[in-house]
Amino acid sequence: MNRNDYDTDVTVFSPQGRIFQVEYAMEAVNQGSACVGLAAGEYVVLAALKRLPSKLATHQRKLLPIDEHLGVCISGLTADARSLCKYLRGECLNHKYVFGSELPVGRLMSGLADKMQECTQSYVRRPYGVGMLVAGADKTGAHLFQTCPSGNVYEYKAHAIGARAQSARTYLEKHYDGFAALAAAGDKEALLLHALRALASCTEAEEELSVDNASLGVVQVGSGFEVVDGTSMAPLIARLADFNPDPPAAAAAAAGTAADAAAADAADEDDDMAMA
Amino acid sequence: MAAGYDYATNVISSEGKVYQLEYAAKAVESSGTTVGVQCKDGVILASEKLMMSKMLVDSTCKVVHKVDDQIGVAYSGIGPDGKSIVGLAQNIAHKYKQNYGERIAPGVLAQQLGDILYAYTSYAAYRPFGAHALVCGYDEDHKESQLYLCELDGTVTRYWGTAVGKGARSARTEIQKLKLTEKTCAEALPLLAKILHTVHDPSKDKPFVLEAGWATDATKGTFSRVPKDVLAAADAEGKAASEADGAAHGGAAAAAAGDA
Amino acid sequence: MAAAAMAPKLSASSSTAKELTTHPIVTGSSVLAVKFAGGVMMASDTLASYGSMARFPDVQRLRQVSDGVIIGASGEMSDFDFAMRLLDELRVESECAEDGAELDAGEVHHYLTRVMYNRRNKFNPLWNQLVVAGTKDGKPVLGVVDQIGTAFEADFTATGFGKHMAVPQMREHWRADMTEGEARELLEGCMRVLFYRDCRTINRMQIAKVTATGSVVSPAYSLDTEWSLKSFKKEASPEDGSW
pLDDT at A37 over 60: yes
**Which pLDDT score is estimated for A90?**
98
The mean pLDDT of chain A is 89
Question: 10 Å Cβ neighbour count for C233?
Answer: 13
Chains near C, with 3+ CB pairs < 8 A? Answer: A, B
pLDDT at A101 over 70: yes
Ramachandran angles phi, psi of A156, nearest 5°: -120, 155
pLDDT at A263 over 50: no
**How confident is the model over B23-47, as a mean pLDDT?**
96
pLDDT at B114 over 50: yes
**How confident is the model over B241-247, as a mean pLDDT?**
89
Chains near A, with 3+ CB pairs < 8 A? Answer: B, C
**Is A121 part of the contact surface with chain B (CB cutoff 8 Å)?**
yes
**Which pLDDT score is estimated for C14?**
55
Please state, in angstroms and rounded to a whole number, the distance separating the CA atoms of residues C242 and C233. Answer: 6
**Is B217 part of the contact surface with chain A (CB cutoff 8 Å)?**
no
Using pLDDT thresholds of 50, 70 and 90, give the confidence band for residue A262: very low
Using pLDDT thresholds of 50, 70 and 90, give the confidence band for residue A247: low
Q: Residues B182-214: pLDDT tens digits?
A: 999 999 999 999 999 999 999 999 999 999 999
**Can you give the pLDDT of all 243 residues of chain C as single tens digits?**
444 455 555 555 556 777 787 899 999 999 999 999 999 999 999 999 999 999 999 999 999 999 999 999 999 999 999 999 999 999 999 999 999 899 999 999 999 999 999 999 999 999 999 999 999 988 999 999 999 999 999 999 999 999 999 999 999 999 999 999 999 999 999 999 999 999 999 999 999 999 999 999 999 999 999 988 877 776 666 665 554
Record: contact B65-C96, CB cut-off 8 A: yes
Residue C3 lies in a domain: no
Domain boundaries, chain A: 39-264
* Distance between C92 CA and the closest CA of chain B, angstroms: 6
Domain span holding position C114:
24-222
Please state, in angstroms and rounded to a whole number, the distance separating the CA atoms of residues B5 and A12. Answer: 12
pLDDT at A155 over 60: yes
Please state, in angstroms and rounded to a whole number, the distance separating the CA atoms of residues C225 and C233. Answer: 15
Rounded percentage of chain B residues whose pLDDT exceeds 90: 86
Using pLDDT thresholds of 50, 70 and 90, give the confidence band for residue A96: very high
Residue C130 lies in a domain: yes
Residue C65 lies in a domain: yes
Question: 10 Å Cβ neighbour count for B124?
Answer: 12
Q: Residues A174-226: pLDDT tens digits?
A: 999 999 999 999 999 999 999 999 999 999 988 899 999 999 999 999 999 99
**Which pLDDT score is estimated for A256?**
52
Overall number of domains in chain C: 1
As beta bridge partners, residue B211 has B47
Classify the complex by whether its ipTM is higher than 0.85, answering yes or no: yes
**Is A4 part of the contact surface with chain C (CB cutoff 8 Å)?**
no
Record: contact A121-B126, CB cut-off 8 A: yes
**Which pLDDT score is estimated for A205?**
85
Return all residues near C26 (Cβ < 8 A) that are at least 6 apart. Answer: C48, C49, C50, C55, C56, C76, C77, C78
Record: contact B59-A116, CB cut-off 8 A: no
C21: annotated active-site residue: yes
Please state, in angstroms and rounded to a whole number, the distance separating the CA atoms of residues C1 and B49. Answer: 82
Residue C212 lies in a domain: yes
Kindly report the CATH number that applies to the domain delimited by A39-264: 3.60.20.10
The mean pLDDT of chain B is 93
**Which pLDDT score is estimated for A104?**
97
Residue C8 lies in a domain: no
As beta bridge partners, residue A226 has A218
**Which pLDDT score is estimated for C236?**
64
Return all residues near C170 (Cβ < 8 A) that are at least 6 apart. Answer: C32, C34, C156, C158, C186, C190
**Which pLDDT score is estimated for C3?**
47
**How confident is the model over B31-52, as a mean pLDDT?**
97
Which domain CATH number covers C194? 3.60.20.10
**Which pLDDT score is estimated for A91?**
98
Q: Out of B26, B29, B55, whose CB is closest to A172? A: B55
| Closest residue on chain C to B89 (Cα) | C96
**Which pLDDT score is estimated for A272?**
42
Q: Which residue has the higher pLDDT, A5 or A97?
A: A97
Using pLDDT thresholds of 50, 70 and 90, give the confidence band for residue A246: low
**Which pLDDT score is estimated for C227?**
87
List the single range of A122-126, A255-259, C235-239 with lowest mean pLDDT.
A255-259
Record: contact C101-A107, CB cut-off 8 A: yes
Return all residues near B153 (Cβ < 8 A) that are at least 6 apart. Answer: B18, B21, B25, B117, B118, B121, B128
**Which pLDDT score is estimated for C13?**
52
B75 three-state secondary structure: strand
Residue C1 lies in a domain: no
Q: What is the largest CA-CA distance in chain B?
A: 57
Nearest to C229 by CA among C193, C178, C184, C180: C193
Which residue ranges form the domains of chain B, and what is each CATH number? 19-258 (3.60.20.10)
For residue A247, whether the previous peptide bond is cis, meaning omega lies within 30 degrees of 0, is: yes
For chains B and C, CB pairs below 8 A equal 18
The reported pTM is 0.89
| Closest residue on chain B to C89 (Cα) | B94
**Is A139 part of the contact surface with chain C (CB cutoff 8 Å)?**
yes
**Which pLDDT score is estimated for A268?**
39
Please state, in angstroms and rounded to a whole number, the distance separating the CA atoms of residues C197 and B48. Answer: 65
**A98 neighbourhood in chain C, CB within 8 Å:** 110-111, 114
